[in-house]
Amino acid sequence: MAKTLGDPILSVAKRGMHRLEVIGNKVAMRSFHVMLTAGVVSILVFTDTPLRRSIDSNDLLFPGVYFGCILLSIVLYLVSSLVDPGYVSRVNSVGPTAVRIRLPLDGDVDDPESVCMNPSPTNKTIRLRQCKRCVVVQPLRAKHCEVCDRCVRKYDHHCPWLATCVGENNHKWFWMFLLSQVFAITLSIYYEWHSFIPNSDWSSWFKLNILYILSQAVLFISGFFASLLFGCHTYLMFTGFTTWEYMAHSRITYLKDFATNPFDRGYLCNCLAFLCRCKSTQWERRLPIIGGYVGECGEDFDKFNTETDTYFDNLPPADSERYV
């Protein structure tokens, strides 16, 4: 069917409506999170609880720790949700279309000397995918998010609670938010657990403690999911994976030929890189015989672009499909 003049206008209008919907969802979710947190804290502060009694007796050590955890969790939540997760720029869309990787047949891929001594390396060219929606060549580990309608560097997942993607720039903040949230929820459960008003009659007990019961239900559900997510992302941090890569390892172009994670540099280095990284990473440098390994192995630099860490000799065009 031939395209009409109204098709581009309709497409722009749909994207505009989608963007407004995304913005509205972000405002709603972040407001809900702050109000839910404020509601739980208000129950502990304005009713007869151990927290309130500590405040009244000027014993401010434990209340200070508790409010510090609450404040830290809110700040980290806002940072995680407001910071750019690592959107791939649509302005500078021209870049390398492929990277060439030498997969060693023997030896340890993490050991440059072992790789260099391998007499029969296998050359493999991985085509970088071109996103039709963003009209950019996706860097390694990037993926298009259907909800945000943007390509995200080192894409992990789209978080409905944050109302944004978790990617290269905000993954560490998301992990720290989960850690602070687990502590805040644990302290809240402790204070409320010791706030129940005893009564021999079940009906009277339920009426007296209805606020605590509802609050505890919210805290236990939230604590379960926060603890589960914290454990999962701690594992991903130490292993150098993302959620997307871990779940779809066998279907991702740049991973399916590796039996293990090629970006894994050991638990300590993975952890330090995860927590201390302050700028975007050229992940081509983390693969075997790419980046630093090239110089150490005496590769031909005439065929290697040291600025982008990519080969340009006889590379195929960028794949127009997205990562599966």
Q: Annotated catalytic sites, by residue?
A: 159
311 beta partners: 304
Tokens standing for 221? 């559900």
Cα 237 from chain centroid (whole Å):
10
Residue labelled with tokens 């500078």: 92
Q: Looking at residue 265, what DSSP letter applies?
A: -
DSSP secondary structure, 38-98, as one string? HHHHHHHHHSS-HHHHHHHTT--HHHHHHHHHHHHHHHHHHHHHHS---BPPSSS----SE
Q: Are strands 164-166 and 304-305 parallel, antiparallel or unpaired?
A: unpaired
Are 56 and 49 spatial neighbours (Cβ–Cβ below 8 Å)? Answer: no
Q: How open is the CA angle 90-96-99, to the nearest 5 degrees? A: 130
Element (H, E) at 226: helix 210-239
